[in-house]
Amino acid sequence: MGATIKLGLVWDISDFFNGAMAIPNLIGLVALSGVIVSQTKEFHEKYYKKTPVGK
C-alpha cells in the first residue's frame, strides 16, 4: 500500500505510528518508577558506599 499512495501521506502515517509506540513505553515507565527508584538506591548503596545491601 505504501507504494501506491502519496509519499507525504506515507511519512505522516509512519510518523504517527512511531509516535504511538511511545505511549505504552511511557505508561510502563510511570508504572515502574517506584521499582526504578528503589533499584537505583540499592545500587548506589552497594557499589558507591561499599556497604552490603540487605544485611
In this prediction, residue 55 carries a pLDDT of: 55
In this prediction, residue 25 carries a pLDDT of: 94
In this prediction, residue 38 carries a pLDDT of: 94
Q: What is the amino acid identity at position 38?
A: S
Placement of cell 515507565 in the chain: 29
Q: How far apart are CA 33 and CA 51, in angstroms?
A: 24
Q: What is the amino acid identity at position 28?
A: G
- Low-confidence residues of the chain: pLDDT under 50: none
Report the sign of the C-alpha dihedral through residues 17, 18, 19, 21, in that order. positive
CB 27 within 8 A of CB 16: no
pLDDT tens digit string along 35-49? 999 999 999 888 887
Q: How is residue 37 written as a grid cell? A: 527508584
